[in-house]
């Protein structure tokens, strides 16, 4: 994020990338979403976020900020299921993007400036708008702290 901060503190959101996962729906359409998954017993939501991002994308990330919560229902094998998902922002630490998780069809890097239009679900687009609005301040904070993205 810090590398996106230019002279005078201007932030170029096209220089900040987000890892997304794609899954095929029942009609065979590829739908892009944020990585997410089940919280294990005794696991903190940031540990869950870090584990799930690694499992679904091959990227090791470090959670540093809560983004928001999505609460929804879906049907699986005729059973109605309630799910609450805590979304967090993670900074890249290491790894190579891959789609080795059998539940994931594809993974990709998307510039923050194009994130909202890629996401399939309205609730995730709302969270992406929040992240988009907060990212300039977060990027400047990273730059002020002397952080750099590992290469």
Q: Answer for the pair 2, 135: CB distance below 8 angstroms, yes or no.
A: no
The model's pTM: 0.89
Does the pLDDT at position 151 exceed 80?
no
The domain spans of the chain are: 2-145
Where is pLDDT greater, at 60 or 26? 60
Whole-number pLDDT of residue 150: 80
Name all contacts of 60-63 with Cβ < 8 Å and 24+ positions apart.
60/92, 60/93, 60/94, 60/95, 61/90, 61/91, 61/92, 61/93, 62/90, 62/91, 62/93, 63/88, 63/89, 63/90
DSSP conformational letter for 35: -
Tell me which H or E stretch contains 136: helix 122-144
Q: Cα-flanking dihedrals φ and ψ of residue 69, to 5°?
A: -125, 140
Separation CA 51–CA 65 (nearest Å): 16
Q: Render pLDDT for 79-112 as a digit per residue (tens, 0 to 9).
A: 999 988 899 999 999 999 998 888 899 999 999 9
Reference 47, options 28, 59, 69, 63; nearest CA is: 63
Q: Render pLDDT for 32-74 as a digit per residue (tens, 0 to 9).
A: 999 988 888 999 999 999 999 999 999 999 999 999 998 888 8
- 38 burial (CB, 10 Å; 0-12 / 13-18 / 19+) is exposed
Whole-number pLDDT of residue 72: 86
Whole-number pLDDT of residue 85: 87
Q: Render pLDDT for 114-135 as a digit per residue (tens, 0 to 9).
A: 999 999 999 999 999 999 999 9
Whole-number pLDDT of residue 38: 82
CATH of domain 2-145: 3.90.79.10
What pairing do the DSSP bridges indicate for beta strands 106-111 and 59-76? Answer: unpaired
Whole-number pLDDT of residue 139: 96
């Amino acid at each position: 994020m810090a590398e996106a901060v230019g002279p005078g503190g201007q932030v170029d959101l096209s220089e900040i990338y987000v890892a997304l996962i794609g899954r095929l729906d029942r009609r065979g359409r590829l739908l892009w979403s944020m990585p997410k998954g089940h919280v294990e017993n005794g696991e903190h939501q940031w540990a869950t976020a870090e584990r799930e991002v690694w499992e679904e994308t091959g990227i090791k990330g470090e959670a540093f900020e809560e983004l928001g919560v999505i609460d929804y229902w879906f049907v699986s094998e005729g059973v109605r299921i309630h799910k609450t998902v805590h979304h967090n922002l993670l900074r890249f630490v290491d790894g190579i993007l891959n789609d080795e998780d059998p539940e994931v069809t594809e993974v990709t890097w998307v510039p923050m400036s194009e994130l909202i239009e890629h996401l399939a679900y309205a609730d995730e687009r709302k969270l992406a708008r929040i992240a988009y609005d907060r990212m300039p301040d977060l990027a400047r904070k990273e730059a002020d702290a002397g952080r750099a993205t590992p290469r």
